[in-house]
Every structure is written in C-alpha cells, then in structure tokens.
Structure 1
Amino acid sequence: MNIVAFSIQTIPDTDIGRSLYGNAADMALLNEKDVARVMWLKQDQDAGGKAKYMGLHLQKILHISMIVRSSEGCKLELFSSLERPEADVLNAFYQTLHFNPMLVTWDGLTHEIPLLQYRSLYHRVASETYWKHYHPSQHQNQMLGERHTVLKPVLSAYQPQATALREELAAILGIPLHPPLSAEQIWTFYLQQDYTALQQDCMLQTLQTYLIYLMFQQVRNELNKDELHTECDLLKNLLHQRKHEGIYQLLEHWQDGRFCQKLDLA
C-alpha cells in the first residue's frame, strides 16, 4: 500500500499583487495586509462584486501536509514555506512521488493540482515523475485513476449538485469534526503569526481526507475488516507520536468510540 494523502494551504502572494496591480512605486510602500486588500478588491471587481475566492494563480503555498503510507509504515509530514523557500517545498513534495504512490485529495483537481502546477511554473520547479505519471491528462478517468483519487467528485458520482462538505461527511462517518479555516481566517492567523493554528488546520484536513479514504477503500472491497483495523492502529500510533503538535486532540475525540463503531471495530 503506497499512498500520499495531502492538502495544501495557501495565502495571497503579495509579491505578485505588487507587480500586477496599481503603481509599482506606490505598491512597494504597502505592507502585506494592504497589498492583499488591493488584490481582493481587484478580484471582487472582476467578478462583479461576487468573488468568493482569490484566483489560484495569485496564491502561494504556505503548507503542504501529507500522510505517507508505505512499506515503511505511516508518516505525517508537513512542508512549510515559513521554514524554507517555496521552491524547496515543491521539490520536497515531488520527491515523495519516487515510490509511485496513489495520491489522495478531497478536491485536488480544482485546488491542489492547479496550485502545484502554477507554483512550479512560477519557480521553474521541474518534476519529470509528476508530469509523466500524475498530471491529470495522463488518466482516462482523471478522478479515480491509478495515480490519483479525488474523493469529492468520486463520492458524489461526479454530480456537482450532490457534493458534500468534507467536514460534514466526516461528522456523519464518526470522524472527529474539524471545520476548516476559511481563506480569511488563514490570512488573519498568518498576519498574527499564529503559525501553530495554521499548521494544525492543514494537518487535520489531511487526516480527515485520509480517514474518509480508508472507509472508501473498505466499501470498494480494497480493504477487509482486519486490514482496515491495522490501518487505523497505525494512524492512532502516529497521532500519539505527534501529540505535541496539537494533533492529539483528534485522537482524544476518536477514542470516544464513534469512529470505531462506524467501522465495526469497537
């Protein structure tokens, strides 16, 4: 079993904002908060006052969190552009593809994958493995292929009107609830330098995605009851090891038995 379940957390790229909007000399005098405000105003104007999200090409990667399941066990990884250049974060992610894992995302084709491609182009980061084997054009069925499972469209039978919120589906399945931070909340925490809250949020989104994927594998008959139990034990041990990062809270909620009952493991 080779799996990389991952989520990407972003913030506005204010360097791009400074280069695209307004007078260059004036924009250079603005702080990050004010530049981002200009970017949002421009997005809102272009959308006729109805902008909900900033264009992905205007965002930069703050964190990539991953659960890596391989023959070596289960690991929780976090690559942060707060600690290293964003280009190095991209390279670190691409290096995880060397063992040909199945990528798992919640809504990767509309978020994670475009972000990886835009930012790789921006930084000129090359990955032959990604473009040969993981780019969506390589798969006849892009959302449930041999290389990437995108849970949101697959579970809704590719019907947009039938899609579920990840946090609501997780709650229904007995997975500990963790509503994701909004783009505005992420930006606020970033400006306040509350990086722990941001890292925890990104990792918890990945954990929710991975747990949903495990249950999906069971109903597809890719995992039997014993195998699923083994995967859950590995994940619990992983969470024990990472309790100093705030992830232990998820385990405490998990141990109330609701998730195990849903899996018939209690």
Structure 2
Amino acid sequence: MRLPVLVFDIETLTDLKAGAHLYGLDLPQQDLEQALYKLRRQEAGTDFQRIALHEIVCISGLWIDENGVMKLFSFSRENNSEAEILKKFLSIFDKRNPTLVSWNGSQFDLPVILFRAMYHGLSAASLFDQGEIDTQKRYNNYQNRYHHRHVDLMDVMAMFNGRHFQKLDDIAHLLGYPGKRGGTGYFIPEYVKNQQWLELTSYCEGDVLNTWLIFLRWSLLKGQVSLEDHRLWTQATIHYLQSQPQQNEFLAVWRDMSQHTDFTVKDFPSSSI
C-alpha cells in the first residue's frame, strides 16, 4: 500500500440556480426543484441529476500519512462556500500526491469536482494533469481507469465490468462493516436545509470510513498488506475512532456488525472496547 493515502467522498444537492439557467426556467424557488426533477425524468428516466448540476455541500476525507497517522476531516457548507470547499480539497494535491481512494469516484465524485471547479473558475492541475505538465503523470495519473494513483474500489472490485458494480452499503455489510447505518443520501437536503451540519459531516465521514475498511480488505486480497498488517491497520483505525466523538455510532455499529463474519469477529477482542 503506497502511502500517503487519501480516502474521500462528496455529498451534493441539485444546483437550482445553474439548473434554471441551463433549462431557461423562470419559476419561484419552491417550484424550481420539482420542475428540474420532472425534466430529468423525461430525458433520462431518473431523478438523479446530470453530473454538472450537482452542487457540493460536503467533502470528507481520511488522510493516512507515511507514518500511519490518521486524520479524519470534513469541509462543509457550514463554514465554507462551494468554491472554498473545492479550494481546500484541491490544495491537498498541490502539496502532496496521495494514493486517492473512493467508491464510484471515477464516475461521480471526480467528474462532479471537475465540473464544479470549472464552474467556479478554479485550477486543479495537480489532480487533473495527464502528463501535459508533469510528464510522469502520462503513465500514472488520477484519471486513467487502470492506474492505481486513484483506486475506485467499486470499479476495480467489479473487474472494470459495469454489470458487476455493487453498492458501498451492501459490500460494507457483507464484509462485516457498518454501512450507512440506516441513513441514505436522501437525507442530505434536509440536513442542509435544517443546518444539521454534524449529521451531514458524520454521514459523509461514515462513507469514507467504510471505503477505507474495504480498501484495507482489498489490499489484503492483492497482497499489498500482510494479514498481520491488516490487523494492525484495523486496530489503529479503531483506536483512532475512539478519539472521534462524532463517530461513536459508527464504532458501535461496526462492533455489532463484526460479529456476523468469522473474519471481522476478531476486530473487537472482548477487552478492546
């Protein structure tokens, strides 16, 4: 496993202002969202908006440095505009070149970041350069599907076959991890509307933590960490989360879910919590 590692996830809302401009709609605010959903259903048969109309309200990440030190963080609309969230996230790549890890990041998170960065007139060369600036990135960049500078776990675990794509929640549960703990992305608009920022960031961070745990298991499968190293990383994660009050529920659900597989039952020895 090449360190440092950055596991990340984003949460979004429909950008009503951009949607109204794109479709030429002149409607009251309370009618605009439903109109955009109706138009989307007509053109694609789904409520899920096109990538460019996803406005970022939170980016969460787990940073693991070369010494194995972990830091869980979130940039949200509580204190930042969307442009400020993007600037903070993108600045990480200006300073470092981590192994980037996501679930469906190639098809959703990174394209959203690309469009929204362009929307705000931001530069993100360190993330989107494919060798035009740094020639080494021609063969090892964050966009190429088969490079491992960005590991999209949904893609690699499906062996790059869309028919085999799985949901993060399902795989987390299957492997003995918490999953979404009863929540879904449908709550994001309510969290933002009601200014429930802790709920928003805890939810996004939960997806990051599930992705990290699955990444550890994938690294074990690939032989990039040994069984003993996997155990040590797991225990280090548990120890770190014990110092993160906003993830008390994640830790408690993980302990319960771990009892469902012979492998994860060892994550929580009786004396560990």
Checking the alignment, whether the CA contact within 8 Å between 1:14 and 1:36 is kept in structure 2 is yes
Listed one character per residue, the Cα deviations across residues 103-155 of structure 1 (whole Å, up to 9, x for unaligned) are 00111111011011000100011122112269998659933423100111211
> In the superposition, relative to structure 1, how do residues 89 and 215 fare at CA in structure 2: closer, same or farther (>3 Å)?
same
* Runs of 4+ that moved beyond 6 A: 134-137
Matches of 2:260 and 2:222 in 1, distance apart? 19
Matched to 2:158, the amino acid is: S
Q: What runs of 5+ residues in structure 1 fail to find an aligned partner?
A: none
Q: Does 2:197 correspond to 1:200?
A: no
Checking the alignment, whether the CA contact within 8 Å between 2:242 and 2:248 is kept in structure 1 is yes
Matches of 1:52 and 1:206 in 2, distance apart? 25
Residue 66 of structure 1 corresponds to 61
Q: Does 2:93 correspond to 1:93?
A: no
Residue 36 of structure 1 corresponds to 33
Residue 222 of structure 1 corresponds to 224
Q: Does 2:85 correspond to 1:83?
A: no
Residue 102 of structure 1 corresponds to 99
CA displacement at 1:240 relative to structure 2: 1.3
Matched to 1:16, the amino acid is: A
Normalised by the size of structure 2, how large is the TM-score? 0.84
* Matched ranges for 1:1-266 at <5 A: 1-23=3-25, 26-27=26-27, 30-31=28-29, 33-47=30-44, 50-71=45-66, 73-97=69-93, 98-132=95-129, 139=140, 142-178=144-180, 181-243=183-245, 245=246, 247-256=247-256, 257-258=258-259, 261-263=262-264
Matched to 1:254, the amino acid is: W
CA displacement at 1:10 relative to structure 2: 0.2
Matched to 2:92, the amino acid is: T
Matches of 1:91 and 1:13 in 2, distance apart? 19
Higher deviation after alignment, 253-262 or 85-94: 253-262
Checking the alignment, whether the CA contact within 8 Å between 1:167 and 1:180 is kept in structure 2 is no
Checking the alignment, whether the CA contact within 8 Å between 1:132 and 1:138 is kept in structure 2 is no
Checking the alignment, whether the CA contact within 8 Å between 2:168 and 2:179 is kept in structure 1 is no
Could you say what the CA RMSD is over the residues aligned between the two structures, in angstroms? Answer: 2.6
